[in-house]
Amino acid sequence: MIFFINSIMQANKSGIEFAQLKRIELFNDHNEDYRLVVRDWDPKLHPVTRAAGVPDSQLINMFEYFQNAMVVPEQPVHLAGLDFGVLNTHADQEANRFLVYNANNQLVARVNFTGDDQVVTSTELFDGFGNLYRVDYYDTRGFRTLEQWYTPDNKIGTEAWLDVNGVPVVEKFYRTDNTGELAPTGWRLTDRNDGKVYMFDTIEELTLQFLNDLNAEYWSQEHPNVFVLDRGHVADWGLLHLDRPAYTVNHLHNAHASGQDPMAPIVNNNYEFTLNAINGYDAIVSSTHKQSADVDKRYHPTAKLFTIPVGVVPDRLINAPRVPETKRAFGKMVVFARIAPEKQLDQLTQAFAQVHDAVPEATLDLYGYADNSNNYAAKRAVQKVIDEHDLGDAVTFKGYTTDVDTAENDGMLYGLTSNMEGFNLAIMEAIAHGLIPVTYDVNYGPNEITEDHVNGRVVPYGDIDAFAQAVIEILQNPDLAQQYSTAAYDSAERYSEANVWQAWRALIDDADAIWPAKLAAARMTTVPAKGDN
């Protein structure tokens, strides 16, 4: 089995989630089985994954795995289905919740719900003295999934994840630390199959138990389980300590070093552990040839290096009719990115201000949700530039959208001024729609997907003036614009389904090729899995 490991799968997805979903589409097209593994608890997980095209049968959440609740019937809970153990209760509605009282009008519970059908999402329970003592959370599929027990000073003291019958199977404990604050101190797992009880100090140890269980459950003598770790902190330690052999892959989704120097002493903290233990993995995947070369030069790993683009240009786009420049909105630049500090969209807007002065018809559409860190500092920085240069009619915050085709078939240019990337799916999608990319010379992805003076422009990193002049030159030269757009369409072939699948096939074939040797090396020290001879 092939496992793609992440921590979350939210409705508003980041690049890693989009990359996983593109990969899943590719694996589906080639009838290669997989499981999407999501480590963190989320009672709203299934509506999101289903909407993204991942059926429940292909999804494994760690908590649901231990709860034996990966596939359960849909039975949404409503107020009438709740039992508070109190006679003669009555309820009043207040916004998106009900207040439940006993016969003496004493508050028994607050019941929070969502939607017009008022499906229960959580209940807050109160004792006879009016103190909150427990909060229960309900999975969207209709069972009580988590109990949070509160201390007298209104802090969470214990958490218990329940199976579909309401029996605790995973528990998290808290104790007061030397500062007087409650801190997590341990986890208890009751095995869903044999009832054995395990104690763990950290969630990393609990995760290792989960990975070991998966590895044993899907064990095969003929083919290894392949664990592809897409978000490092979830299982980077766990994959190095498996009880049984497997083929372990750490996927670098971003630059491994800070800034533009791949040899810089400060390493991306998301990959610090991975890179220090790089030879503990069987393979390291980078999204670009440049990063693979830089990782090799810096670390000289014995782990095998693979270059596999995280994005795929589907055949429907490769074969779609091309939109000529004369049919596009002249001067329209579009950007698909979180409005976050690392994207440096204030610099892009500063460059656009110069473009707008030279070409008043030019417009800039910013698609993406705003990062709320530091009170939405990144969006405020962009808005400041808009206000300073009176660009209110030319720059538009479009918000998050999934309708990429319409926006990019209408646009003319794509701009990118990030301080670092791991690939950048958006710029790959841009060239597939014939948009002309203009980007900083930024590692990794933008300066490889974009070929300077071929399918777009690559300007020195941080050079706002050069960025603006590159855009102005394109807008003032229609023949050059069409030349770049045609080349952009052509270059998208590099990321076709056939080419990206060939890269994944090479990794899977390597896993199979080294499997006999891994089995032989581990046979003397590994506890045989069920079914082993």
> What pLDDT, on a 0 to 100 scale, did the predictor assign at position 522?
84
- CA–CA distance from 419 to each of 48, 413, 471 (Å)? 30, 20, 19
3-state class (DSSP) for residue 199: strand
Looking at the DSSP bridge assignments, the partners of residue 436 are 413
Instruction: Count Cβ atoms below 10 Å from residue 208 Cβ, excluding itself.
Output: 20
> What pLDDT, on a 0 to 100 scale, did the predictor assign at position 259?
65
Q: Are 123 and 148 in contact (CB under 8 A)?
A: no
3-state class (DSSP) for residue 103: coil
CATH of domain 2-71+205-307: 3.40.50.2000
Question: What are the sequence ranges of the domains in the chain?
Answer: 2-71+205-307, 79-202, 315-495
Cβ partners under 8 Å of residue 396, min gap 6: 363, 364, 365, 366
pTM score of the predicted model: 0.88
Render the burial of 36-65: b for 16+ CB within 10 Å, e for the rest: bbbbebbbebbebbeebebeeebbbbbbbb
Q: Which of 133, 1, 126 is nearest to 57 (CA)?
A: 1
Fold for the domain defined by 79-202: Outer Surface Protein A; domain 3 (3.90.930)
Helix (H) or strand (E) holding 445: none
Q: Is 179 exposed, middle or buried (0-12, 13-18, 19+ CB in 10 A)?
A: exposed
Q: Are 26 and 58 in contact (CB under 8 A)?
A: no
Give the span between the Cα atoms of 252 and 292, in whole angstroms: 10
- Residue ranges in the chain modelled with pLDDT below 50: 526, 528-533
Q: Are 245 and 522 in contact (CB under 8 A)?
A: yes
Q: Is 181 exposed, middle or buried (0-12, 13-18, 19+ CB in 10 A)?
A: exposed
∠ Cα 279 280 286 (to 5°): 60
* Stated length of the chain: 533
Interhelix angle 425-432/15-29, rounded to 10 degrees, is: 60
Q: Which of 110, 108, 112, 111 is nearest to 126 (CA)?
A: 108
User: What's the DSSP call for residue 396?
Assistant: E
Please tell me the class of the 315-495 domain: alpha beta
In CATH terms, are 2-71+205-307 and 79-202 the same topology? no
- CA–CA distance from 272 to each of 252, 258, 278, 344, 411 (Å)? 11, 11, 10, 24, 39
> What pLDDT, on a 0 to 100 scale, did the predictor assign at position 531?
39
Q: Are 168 and 144 in contact (CB under 8 A)?
A: no
Measured in whole angstroms, the distance separating CA 386 from the mean position of its chain's CA atoms is: 30
Render the burial of 10-31: b for 16+ CB within 10 Å, e for the rest: eeebebbbbbbbbbbebbeeee
> What pLDDT, on a 0 to 100 scale, did the predictor assign at position 193?
81
Are β-strands 283-286 and 132-138 bridged in parallel, bridged antiparallel, or unpaired? unpaired
User: Which two structure tokens, joined as six digits, stand for 520?
Assistant: 């032989």
Within 339-422, residue ranges assigned H as helices are: 345-358, 373-388, 404-410
The strands making up 332-336's β-sheet, listed across from edge to edge, are: 395-399, 363-367, 332-336, 413-416, 436-440, 457-459
> What pLDDT, on a 0 to 100 scale, did the predictor assign at position 167?
95
